Chains A and B, each alone.
Chain A
């Protein structure tokens, strides 16, 4: 009888263990098993890979066409930005090889175009953008970010924000620094090389099963912004890359 009770306890404990392991996040499970945490690619709580098209339902006049020179409504700029805004000269940008100033990390998610998201390796998510033919790399291992001069897309460190407990889902949090000075809008509303771009990527399933990527972007710039510039942009998932159409940067369009 005592032996039977012991067996029962063992079986009960075993069942509880199996169940708890089943409901434990993959990263926790791996660590408890003594192994390294799974790579970012293998432990992704949401799937961002694939082709996404921008749906321009906000700020149409500032995104789909080039707004008038001197207009910066709704951007919380400082007085230091005004000479740049009022002196915007796309021809000078062309001559200086700065055609991509409005395609940098601070603005690229607002540019009408398509995204192609893939995994470059297990710890680096790659985002290609056809408008302006830009490439962003979101590195989940901070030490993997290459040091070097500022670039349009800067250095992006990434981490998954998981839902609490064992709940499914989560989001991608990306912080980008080391950017070249660029434009928040095509008509020369500036951000400086000291800007930090913080982004949160969420995925939603909506009507008819359509997948939508929502990106909340916060640009923080101690030089040209009086307060953080926060915008959110939507992309709808596409079945394939048949509409992928890389175009070069343009200073005027």
Chain B
């Protein structure tokens, strides 16, 4: 009887200690809320040329749909304000304005919300353990995102996105796409890793990362998109190209002597083996004459 009592009490204490341990785990995190400016040193947008699918592991179907896209679609009133999916949070050129919603009694973070941009909806990461809706539930441009802390990393997953784009030049993403997010903070730098999967248009997970720096000032946020008449009447046909007759298919290829299969997003072009394969056939482009970069004055140190 006594032994049982002692063991039971000991067990309770040990259990409490375990719970304390896991409570520490749950609260182990960094400050994510605030304003973050993008570090513009990496080319993650790739939207200067109508056909530039470099770095994308596209399926044949994804490539075909992308080649059929005509940018004139944006002049249609009903398409001007089509919002981007959640991936645009990282692919877009803007900073992050992140707000935390805190439960007032226990002080726990219920959610983080990334403020919207003109053509991107706000994204909320639910941190309260709620499940994802059923697969048939409502799909929105921003999708449905849940998150949790694992050590000093915020893990998040987005589902339920409407079909959208993964590149501004009309590269599609289906409504079955999902996004895995990882947020790492090292000092004043936040690095976000994004992995996008799409059974329709991506041959393998597409993974990019982007860094942001803490901003003392609020970064610009929502500017509502307002449709205006740009020459196309409602009901006009949707501008498009036959995929094999896209007049811009070789523009980027010729500008930089790039391999066509790389510009068209063939998956093998993402790996070092491909580089070795094209080594002997590659002709360097002529020296850069315009838009080569701009020197900056030294920053005070």
Decide if A65 is an interface residue (CB 8 Å cutoff). Answer: yes
- Cα of A146 to Cα of B182 in the assembled complex, Å: 36
| Contact among B28, B42, B205, B279 for A58, CB-based, below 8 A | B42
Decide if B104 is an interface residue (CB 8 Å cutoff). Answer: no
Decide if A207 is an interface residue (CB 8 Å cutoff). Answer: yes
CB pair B42 A74 closer than 8 Å: yes
Decide if A181 is an interface residue (CB 8 Å cutoff). Answer: no
Contact digits for B192-207, partner A, Cβ 8 Å, 1 yes 0 no: 0101010000000111
| Contact among B7, B21, B193 for A204, CB-based, below 8 A | B193
- The smallest beta-carbon distance between A169 and chain B, in angstroms, is 3
- The smallest beta-carbon distance between A210 and chain B, in angstroms, is 8
Q: Which residue of A lies closest to B299 (CB)?
A: A227
| Contact among B27, B186, B282 for A161, CB-based, below 8 A | B186
**Which residues of chain B have C-beta atoms less than 8 A from A167's C-beta?**
24-25, 28, 149-152
Decide if B237 is an interface residue (CB 8 Å cutoff). Answer: no
Decide if B285 is an interface residue (CB 8 Å cutoff). Answer: yes
Q: A53-B271, A167-B152 are in contact. Are A23 and B293 (CB under 8 A)?
A: no
Assign chain B's interface to a size class.
Answer: 35 or more
Q: B residues 244-291 with Cβ under 8 Å of A?
A: 256-258, 262, 269-276, 278-279, 282, 284-289, 291
| Contact among A15, A231, A247 for B10, CB-based, below 8 A | A15
- The smallest beta-carbon distance between A166 and chain B, in angstroms, is 5
Count of A-B residue pairs with CB < 8 Å: 248
Decide if A8 is an interface residue (CB 8 Å cutoff). Answer: yes
- The smallest beta-carbon distance between B59 and chain A, in angstroms, is 16
Q: B residues 25-46 with Cβ under 8 Å of A?
A: 25, 27-29, 39-44
Q: A7-B2, A8-B9 are in contact. Are A23 and B17 (CB under 8 A)?
A: yes
- Interface size, chain A (Cβ < 8 Å): 82
Decide if A112 is an interface residue (CB 8 Å cutoff). Answer: yes
- The smallest beta-carbon distance between B108 and chain A, in angstroms, is 16
Q: A66-B284, A202-B184 are in contact. Are A61 and B43 (CB under 8 A)?
A: yes
Q: Which residue of A lies closest to B39 (CB)?
A: A230
CB pair B205 A207 closer than 8 Å: yes
Q: A11-B9, A58-B42, A81-B295 are in contact. Are A212 and B193 (CB under 8 A)?
A: yes
CB pair A74 B293 closer than 8 Å: yes
Decide if A55 is an interface residue (CB 8 Å cutoff). Answer: yes
The interface-forming segment of A32-40, A118-126, A214-222 is A214-222
Candidate in B54, B189, B293 with the most chain A CB atoms within 10 angstroms: B293
- The smallest beta-carbon distance between B187 and chain A, in angstroms, is 9
**Which residues of chain B have C-beta atoms less than 8 A from A97's C-beta?**
none
CB pair B28 A164 closer than 8 Å: yes
CB pair B182 A202 closer than 8 Å: yes
- Cα of A81 to Cα of B298 in the assembled complex, Å: 11
Which residues of B does A touch, CB under 8 Å?
Answer: 2, 5-7, 9-11, 13-14, 16-18, 20-21, 24-25, 27-29, 39-44, 54-56, 149-153, 180, 182, 184, 186, 189, 191, 193, 195, 197, 205-211, 213, 256-258, 262, 269-276, 278-279, 282, 284-289, 291-293, 295-299, 301
Closest 5 CB pairs of A and B: A169-B151, A19-B17, A163-B151, A15-B10, A226-B296
